[in-house]
Structure 1
Amino acid sequence: MDELLRPRVYGADIDDPDPGPKPDRVYRELVGGPLDGLLLDVTGWSEREHSAGVELRTDIGRFGPGGRARYAPREGGTDHWEWRGDSR
């Protein structure tokens, strides 16, 4: 796959020469909001943790540095997590 089109994993360093997914990990794609298109590593998460969703730090959301973007699984249990808004 073209390296420019390869998805990047949330939390990977911007200078990481290989910021993409690893074959032995489980990911969910973030859809919408400031982290749209990034992959979230959920390897080892319990069903409870997975169903609760997550708040992820981001400097590019509504609240700028220190803000968070909320994502939760789509209805139907897909591999996509939808943006549910930003918070401080």
Structure 2
Amino acid sequence: MDELEFMRGRVYGADHDDAAPRPGRVYAELVGGPLDGLLLDVTDRTERELRGGVVLPTEIGRHGPGGGAVYAPRGPGDRRFDWRGDVP
């Protein structure tokens, strides 16, 4: 299994040993960019909070450690977030 296949379906920010989605939680799929295939837990976030997108810290983006990846929903209520770029 390669690294991309290993990461797909795992929850962003979760402990590597327990990164499976949890029942009763709401997830958005991250599409493209360095976090492609990961799931983002959006259970406690409002549509308004998510509308402008999120910056997720990651060491595997263009800027390395300390950088982040920007993801935004495709549309209202859509649970797929597209990569918009990396930030330092």
CA 1:35–1:84: 2 relative to 1, 3 Å: same
- Length-normalised TM-score, structure 1: 0.85
Larger helix fraction of residues = 2
Point out where structure 1 has 5 or more consecutive residues left out of the alignment: none
In the TM superposition, 1:1-88 aligns within 5 A as 7-14=9-16, 16=17, 18-75=18-75, 77-88=77-88
Identity %: 64
Work out the CA distance in 2 between the residues paired with 1:64 and 1:5: 18
Structure 2 portions without partners, runs of 5+: 1-5
1:48-84 per-residue CA deviation (whole Å, 9 max, x = no partner) reads 1121210000000000011100000013642100000
Q: CA RMSD in A?
A: 1.7
> Contact between 2:58 and 2:64, CA under 8 Å: does it hold in 1?
yes
